[in-house]
Amino acid sequence: MERRKFTREFKLEAVRLIRERGVSYVQASQDLRVHVSQLRDWVKKFADDPEHAFPGHGQMKPEQLEIARLKREVTKLKAERDILKNARRSLSSCGHRNGLRYVLSAPRGAAVGFLVASTP
């Protein structure tokens, strides 16, 4: 059985029915064919934040949008940090051999590099 989906308008009308018209939860539940606990949840959500209640269809509250933006920023910053860590490792793996400095230009463990004249 597929889960039922209710529009924002349906939820708002159900809340109005209970709050403004004084219909009991049980009666509204029977009339709308929605479980009583679902109606209580809708009324509570509406009471908590009437303006942003039941956003639906991928729309988010401003706080949720900010959290999503911050998560993307954290992911980007972690990637940049990892790049800098790898670059630092590559630079610290430089060695001196026969008066020449060998510099790795690839990730650790790769046999790619080039020689640079060492200055005293």
Are 18 and 25 a contacting pair, CB within 8 Å?
yes
Same domain, 108 and 70: yes
Provide the percentage of residues in the chain whose pLDDT is more than 90. Answer: 38
* DSSP at 17: H
pLDDT, tens only, 55-98: 766 667 778 888 989 999 999 999 999 888 888 777 766 554 45
Residue 41 placed within a domain? yes
Cα separation, 100 vs 92, in Å, equals 15
Tokens, residue 27: 């009666």
Same domain, 55 and 34: yes
pLDDT, tens only, 30-54: 999 999 999 999 999 888 877 777 7
Same domain, 18 and 52: yes
* DSSP at 49: -
Exposed/middle/buried for residue 32 (C-beta within 10 Å: 0-12, 13-18, 19+):
middle
Cα separation, 42 vs 18, in Å, equals 10
Total domains, the chain: 2
Residue 1 placed within a domain? no
Q: How confident is the model at residue 102 (pLDDT cuts 50, 70, 90)?
A: low
Residue 2 placed within a domain? no
Domain containing residue 15 = 8-59
Pairing of strands 95-97, 100-104: antiparallel
